[in-house]
Amino acid sequence: APAAVNAVVMGDGAVASGASATAIGQGATASAANSVALGQGSVADRADTVSVGSVGNERQVANVAAGPQATDAVNKGQLDGGIATANSYTDQRFTSMADSFDIYKGEIDQRLRHQDRRIDRQGAMSAAMLNMATSAAGVRTQNRVGVGVGFQGGESALSLGYQRALSERATVTLGGAFSSDDSSVGVGAGFGW
């Protein structure tokens, strides 16, 4: 077959039918404009491409130097290096995120443990106040003192209360509960008619 305009053909049965195409090698075919087919049986059927084989007959391009420009071909060494750098960056970021998460989780766990202890102290204080109030409730004198202790979840508390009957119809009460880190104090008055 005749070569196209500005086409180059070298090899038995080689065909360069695309404008400015080059076919080098036995049976090489460069059918697209500005395409290059290199080697026996190579097919270049897309414009502005270089082919070193054909579908089902692929070849390797060996001894390719590292491409320094953005539009240069990349060799396997460059590709492996880029992947290793990306993997290292990803691993480092993941490790950093995992470390940050572990620190955050540790802080949250510590806060929850602190909150659990505080809830237990409040429960112990409530139990102490309840026992203080109920132990003094049955006493019918002008002055009453009550003491109570409470326990919850390994925490303990002590409460102390005083009530003064001002008359048969009025009382004043003062009481408090205390644990290792928390305290609660209350004042009250009662009237009846």
The count of structural domains within the chain is 2
Give 150's strand partners: 157
Task: State the residue range of the domain holding 160.
Answer: 122-191
Mode of pairing for the β-strands spanning 170-179 and 183-191: antiparallel
Report CA dihedral (122, 124, 129, 130) to the nearest 10 degrees: 110
- Give Cβ neighbours of residue 165 (< 8 Å, ≥ 6 apart): 141, 142, 143, 144, 171
* CATH number of the domain to which 6 belongs: 2.60.40
Of 54, 76, 99, the residue that ends a domain is 54
Instruction: Please indicate, yes or no, if residue 97 is contained in any of the structural domains.
Output: no
CATH of the domain at 134: 3.30.1300.30
For residue 68, is it within any domain? no
Q: Is residue 12 part of a domain?
A: yes
In single-letter form, the type of residue at position 9 comes to V
Q: Residue 26 falls within a domain, yes or no?
A: yes
Chain segment 112-145, per-residue pLDDT in tens: 999 999 999 999 999 999 999 988 888 889 999 9
Structure confidence at residue 7 as a pLDDT band (50, 70, 90): very high
Instruction: Say yes or no to pLDDT of 1 above 80.
Output: no
Question: At which of 13, 35, 54 does a domain end?
Answer: 54
Using CB atoms within 10 Å of the CB of residue 171, give its burial: 0 to 12 exposed, 13 to 18 middle, 19+ buried: middle
DSSP 87: H
- How far apart are the two ends of the chain, measured CA to CA in Å? 125
Whether 113 maps to a domain, the answer reads no
The whole-number average pLDDT for the span 35-54 is 97
The reply to whether 136 falls in a domain is yes
pLDDT tens digits, one per residue of 96-112: 999 999 999 999 999 99
Q: Are 165 and 142 in contact (CB under 8 A)?
A: yes
Residue 110, class by beta-carbon neighbours within 10 Å (0-12 exposed, 13-18 middle, 19+ buried)? Answer: exposed
76 part of a folded domain:
no
Residues in the chain: 193
Query: Is the residue at 48 inside a domain?
Result: yes
Q: What is the DSSP letter of 126?
A: H
